[in-house]
Each structure stands twice: as structure tokens, then as C-alpha cells.
Chain A
Amino acid sequence: MISGFAESVYKKYGRSVYELMEESFFKALDMAGLQRSDIQGFITTFMPGIFDDNVYMHFFPDQVCNYLGIHPKYIDSLDYGGPSVLAALYRAERLIKNGGIDNILLLFGGKGSLVREKKVTVDSFESLYENVTNTPYKSLFREYNYTNPLSDYALAAQRHKYMYKSTDEQRAILAVKQRKNANASGYSMFSGNLSADDVLNSSVISSPLHLLEIVYPVDGFHAFIVSKSAGKLRALKIQNYGEAHWTDIPPEQNDIILISASESSNKFRNEIKKCDFYELYDSFTITVMLQLENTGIVPKGKSGKFIENTSMSADGEFPLNTGGGSLNRGQPAYMSGSVLLYESLLQLNNMAKNQVKSANKVFINGIGGWSRNHSVSMIIGE
């Protein structure tokens, strides 16, 4: 159960990454009505550059605990990129169920602005350093791989267009529908009117993807406190769960638009369709489309038509990314998983401004890692 949750998100945060994480941690503690000394477990993640520009930090989770003044009995770091926080929630629930630990802090985020300003991504941070390699294949990649994950998703979008005749306009409509939710959410970084033409007229960054269908990396942390008791909040828990890790690199996959989400969701497809709202990873518009198809919500190749014909607002037939998603919230430290979980908890606790009526069950899907290798699917309810 989650007893406290908080976010601290800025376009550019002027102070250190430690001060930023501390801010979200103390807000979450406050909601949970707990003290630092009550935290007995700690789970986080690291990505190149997001911790004040460091490529890596030695014994990093331990050092964060030291800084925050917490003394956990259990420490872990998960390295799945965007969905890491979702996998951490599952592990935290199990640890608490096993006994001996009552409160676990999940702390995910960092400073995306420092990486952004160097005109690289966490995937290509190694390009700044001659002797640093993030992949065994660096010598064969270095000429053309420095635009991941953008180019990687562009290849998937292009293939999707070819296979299923999906269109640029369909992806643009998704961005427009998410923006409408963002405008209603009251806490979006990017807001205001957006038309499909605005999206289609924005620069093509990596064809077929336009600027306005790509997340903007920002500074931010989310803190979630997983506890034996939900405290003041609703007693929510994971009802269905799956994760999948497909380790093949895209050129060695048979089909780049058949993704790991098809496996992580396959044990509870019927339950997914019965949820009250949906939070799907939205690093790019195509990411959402691939999840709609690969989790069985719509048949293969039909996500474009589905987006055109379906209302995705809070009172619509398929409430999707009800806070506007990370396309509008900004993507804290190149990871959108926390944005999805945070909005889900607002909704399920009846705390959202763009509130779904009787929001009792959410389907969340996170995608991440190098290309689309890691997927975490879950339903949360009471």
C-alpha cells in the first residue's frame, strides 16, 4: 500500500540533485505522517548524467541514504529505465508482505536538464567520454547511434506506418488528446491549445516523429512510500502484475513493433479491459500506440483508428493519460514511470483535478531500457 507520494518537478532546477530529491522525500513523508527513522527500505535507480552530471557513482544507493539520513535494512537499485519505479513498487509490496519491514521509500528521478543541455541523452552520454562505454558494441555504433532513444522509436514508428498504414495525423491526434487532459489536470508543465496541425507543423526531428510528439527531459524526483498500512490514503495494492525483459537489440529482433509489453501483460488481458482509466508510457506518441496494441487493448495495427475514434478525456470512454502524460508534464531524468504512477495515485485517491468518476482500478504500463526491452504491466486497485 502507498501511504505517501509526492513529486518535485522543474524545467530547470538551480540547486543540486540531492536537494531536489530531499524536497520530494519530505513531502511524501509528510503525507504519510512518518518520520525519516520509519523508513526501513530504499529502492532507486541511476542513469548516466542525471546525478549532477556524473557518469556513474560508486555505491550510489548507499550514498543517497547517507545524504537523506535514513538507515534502511534493505537497499536496492533497479536498472530498467522508465518502468523501474513500477517494478520497485511490486518488489516493495512483496518485501512488506514477507514481514520485518513496514515502510519502503521509492525515490526516482534526477536532473534531465544537465544532460539535455549537452545535447545528448542518457543513452548517448558515453559519447562525451572517449574511454567510457555503455555498450560492448560502442566501436560499431559510434557513427550513428547517438540519437537513441529518439531514432529508435522513429524506426518503430516508420515500420508501424509501413505495416499498418498508420498516419502522422493519428499520432498527432493522440498528442492533442493528451494535451486536453493536461490542460484540465492543473499541474502540467506544457499547457494551452494544441491542434493536430500544430503537431504536424512542428519540426520533424527524426522522421516520422515531430517535435511535439517527443517528451522534454526535465529535472524532477518522485517519492513513493510503500507501507504496511495506507495511513490516510486508500488501501491500494497491485492486483495484477507482469514484467518482461527482452534483451535482443532492435536489429536482432524479428519484429521491432512486437514489444515486451505483449509478454508482461499476457496473463491478465481480460482484466485490463475492465479498468476505469489507463496510464501508458508516453516517451513518444508511438510508444502509446505500441502499448495499446501489444497489451491487447486494441488489435494489432488498429491503434491509429482507435485514437481517432475514441474519447480519452476523464469522462470519456477510454480515459488515457489523464494528467496529460509525460509529454506534457515533462520527463523527469528521462523516465516517465513515476509520472504515470503519480497521476494514478491522484486519481485512485480522488485527489485529481481532472478526476475520473469512480476511479477504482487503473492499468499502468511502463516501457524502458535500451529500445523497448523492459516492460512492466500492472493493475492497481483496492
Chain B
Amino acid sequence: MDLKEIYQVYKEKFNDKKLPYIECNNCKYNFYYPRNICPKCGSHDIKINESNGNGTIYSYTVMNKSIWAIVSLNEGFKMYMDIYGNNPEINKKIKIIFKDSQLPCGEII
């Protein structure tokens, strides 16, 4: 899989309102930010999975009334995202949603 293909699949998943991530077939490391090489073991043997969209807030900040966070997904990878909902707290559960932005966001549940 080359980088262009990865971005293409990511775009298709976003259009289907799904959160993609990459799994290394060699060492089983899961990561979100697109690379065609596993950052842990260097293997090119990778595949794109769909996350179940459940996670928790790892850390967050409120800026201009918007919430921005690092979220830890249940599959074990973390990523940045906007968060919707009230009273953010570390460890609170979120669910992935898609707003107008086409990029995955979290909603506090």
C-alpha cells in the first residue's frame, strides 16, 4: 500500500462516517496518522481497519468555547480531534461522529 492509496481509503472511510486506522500485520501496532511503514517495527505489511468508534478523552483543552482533545480509541491508538458535548473530563467516554468538516470528531456520551 502506498501513501496515496492510504489517503484515498481514509477519505472513503470518512465519507462512510467510519474511523479508519492502520494495523501493522507484523508487530500488531495500531496507528492513525498515515504512513506506509510501521513506525514501530519498520514493516511495510500493513492494513487499514475500521475502529468501532469508541474511546476516552486522554487530555483536552477548551479554547473559544470549543473543545480540542487527544482521544484514546478502544483499539489502542490515540489521535487529535474536536469534541462536542458538555463538561469534558479526562477519561470520559466519547463516540466518533462526523460533522460538516468530513473529519472524525468525538461526542461525549
Which A positions have Cβ atoms within 8 angstroms of B?
A: 136-137, 139-141, 143-145, 147, 150-151, 154-156, 158-159, 162, 204-209, 248-252, 256
Contacts and interface: CB of A to CB of B under 8 A. Distances in A.
18 contacts: A140-B33, A140-B103, A143-B103, A144-B68, A147-B68, A154-B63, A155-B60, A155-B61, A158-B60, A158-B90, A159-B58, A159-B90, A162-B59, A207-B62, A209-B61, A249-B33, A251-B32, A251-B80
B18 interface: no
Nearest to B79: A251
B53 interface: no
B61 A151 contact: yes
Interface in B49-77: 58-63, 68-70, 77
Contact of B59 (A159, A204, A205): A159
Interface of B: 7, 10, 31-34, 39, 58-63, 68-70, 77-82, 90, 101, 103
Contacts, number: 71
B45 to A, nearest CB: 19
Given A143-B82, A143-B101, A207-B61, A252 B68 contact: no
Given A144-B81, A250-B70, A251-B70, 11 more contacts: A143-B82, A144-B68, A144-B80, A155-B68, A155-B69, A155-B70, A156-B59, A158-B60, A159-B59, A251-B58, A256-B70
Contacts of A151: 61, 63, 68
Contacts of A162: 59, 90
Contacts of A144: 68, 80-82
Contacts of B90: 158-159, 162
Contacts of B77: 251-252
Nearest to A163: B90
A209 B79 CA distance: 22
Contacts of A205: 63
The 3 closest A-B pairs by CB, nearest first: A154-B61, A251-B78, A159-B59
Contacts of B7: 139
A207 B90 CA distance: 13
A136 B39 CA distance: 14
Contact of A158 (B61, B82, B103): B61
A352 B70 CA distance: 43
Nearest to A257: B59
A156 to B, nearest CB: 7
